[in-house]
Amino acid sequence: MRKTAIFKDDLFLMHDPGPNHPERIDRLRVIYDFIEKPEHRKKFVFPDFGPADLGHLEKNHGEALIRRVADTSGRRYDYLDQDTATSAQSYEAALLAAGAVISGVDLLLEGEIDNGFALVRPPGHHAERDRAMGFCLFNNIAVAAWHAAVGHNLERIMIIDWDLHHGNGTQFSFYDTSTVLYLSTHQFPYYPGTGALQETGIGEGEGYTVNIPLPGGFGDHEYAAIFNDIVIPVGRAYQPELILVSAGFDIYHGDPLGSMSVGPAGFAYMTRALLGLAEDVCRGRLLVTLEGGYNLKGQRDGALAVLSELLGGPLTDDDSEFYLDDATAAQFINSHNSHDAIGRAIEAAGSHWNI
């Protein structure tokens, strides 16, 4: 079994966007309730971590946004846009969420853990330099990637974003640099409206944004084909020193905000494929960060499938429910798909990468 870290804290349950908001507390609680069972908890390590400081945030966000989010502290409710609401402890939770991912980067690069999963709220990949949006306050994964680049002098960091929605904030954080390769699968056209094939970066960053816009209805085998034919080959060509994942479970079949059809086996295979890439190119350095997901069963089962793969075995000795069996894995390994959307994405990526 690998030394897999889980980054969790009850403060993440204190961020409350309000009644009937999709980004509700239970999205995280259903995962926490499972991993807190003694038979599951003993399999993982739970590192201590603290909040991101202003120096970390300022590498990715402007002063005005940081101040605006800080101003929500102590207020019962505040609205940063029509979708993005805060409560009294949301600012503190957002600082800690970014801090969790930063800590994960540090522990990975120091060799203290094999991999990890930051089970945090609020999510982050929509937050831009000067704008909170899409339920996101600060961009957790982008802040941590800048920390890896500036604080640890990494030159090649790969971010894979399989959330239903395009991570506009993460894309634009690194749109003009080759230090971070950003690769996103997402339903398109859909919120937030970015993520077209033609968005590939500018200047030094040309080719280091790889967008894979997809119609609804794609399931396990289609996503396996995308990873087999695009994600992993591009990763091998790039040779990252660190791999970060924005894991959105809103591509689960039955999620109320989307129309994809991925199940636990699909999430497991994507994770296993990335683990294999990480083992080959960057000493296994893989850190997953929670983004979206609004069907509670899909949120729980998807996260547990990812954790099983990170760990390298079933969560309990007598339960392999969330661990990908060899026969299914073999089917996914052989998945290739001629769907027009995948073909166009292969062609677009192939104009920059030898895949």
Strand partners, 78: 86
What does the alpha-carbon distance between residue 298 and residue 296 come to, in Å, rounded to a whole number? Answer: 5
Calculate Rg over the CA atoms of the chain. 18
**Six-digit token pair at 19?**
């009644």
Closest C-alpha among 103, 95, 106 to residue 139: 95
What does the alpha-carbon distance between residue 58 and residue 60 come to, in Å, rounded to a whole number? Answer: 5
What does the alpha-carbon distance between residue 192 and residue 33 come to, in Å, rounded to a whole number? Answer: 32
46 and 36 Cβ atoms separated by less than 8 Å: no
What does the alpha-carbon distance between residue 128 and residue 121 come to, in Å, rounded to a whole number? Answer: 17
The SS3 of residue 224 is helix
Length of the chain: 355
What does the alpha-carbon distance between residue 5 and residue 181 come to, in Å, rounded to a whole number? Answer: 24
Catalytic (active-site) positions: 126
What does the alpha-carbon distance between residue 297 and residue 302 come to, in Å, rounded to a whole number? Answer: 8
Which class for 195: exposed (0-12), middle (13-18), buried (19 or more C-beta within 10 A)?
buried
